[in-house]
Amino acid sequence: MMLREKKVDKNGFTIIEMVVVTAAIAMIMVAVISVVVATFRSQNQTKSNSKVSSGGNWILTELKREVLSSDGENIVCLDNQLTLTDVNDGEVVVISCDDSEGNEVITANSTNLNSGDISIIDCSEFVSCTTLPSLEVSEVNFKFGVKSDTVGIEASQDFELSVSVRN
């Protein structure tokens, strides 16, 4: 009995080689996807932080402008609300932080100061005043928090402002 030699075709890949290559490609793809997801998450965190910072600073600027444009004599600080008289047009301005619509809103004469990109999160101590012995208001202090949510990435920051009243 004679044994025949079998010819083995060496032109193809074995199943083991295919599995190893497929696993290597899968690991590379997981690494690339992780980097892309981390990049988008970081970008959204930056956007959210930027919205909070710019929105909060804009509100602070508006509050400061209102206090500095008042006559300084008719300022009333009561029940987390500030009432003052604008020296330019004599209009009485009421600045407050209300929770009337289910979310906190900072208003000046019923004009909403916070935009749709940000939310006010804490204005329980929104406004307080420092008075002189003569009971005139010498300084107005504002305190509130702002938050923003960009594609599931939330950022928040507390803001404080002290404005010396012009007399």
Rounded to two decimals, the pTM is 0.78
Structural domain contains residue 2:
no
Structural domain contains residue 7:
no
Host H or E run for residue 161: strand 153-164
pLDDT tens profile 2-57: 566 666 566 788 899 999 999 999 999 999 999 999 999 999 999 999 999 999 99
What is the number of structural domains in the chain? 1
What is d(CA 149, CA 131) in angstroms, rounded to the nearest whole number? 38
User: How many alpha carbons fall within 13 Å on the CB side of residue 98?
Assistant: 13
Structural domain contains residue 141:
yes
pLDDT tens profile 103-117: 788 988 878 887 778
What is d(CA 5, CA 17) in angstroms, rounded to the nearest whole number? 25
Structural domain contains residue 97:
yes
Task: Identify the domain containing residue 141 by its residue range.
Answer: 15-164
Hey, what amino acid is at 77?
Answer: C
Strands (E), 37-116: 76-78, 81-85, 92-98, 105-108, 111-112
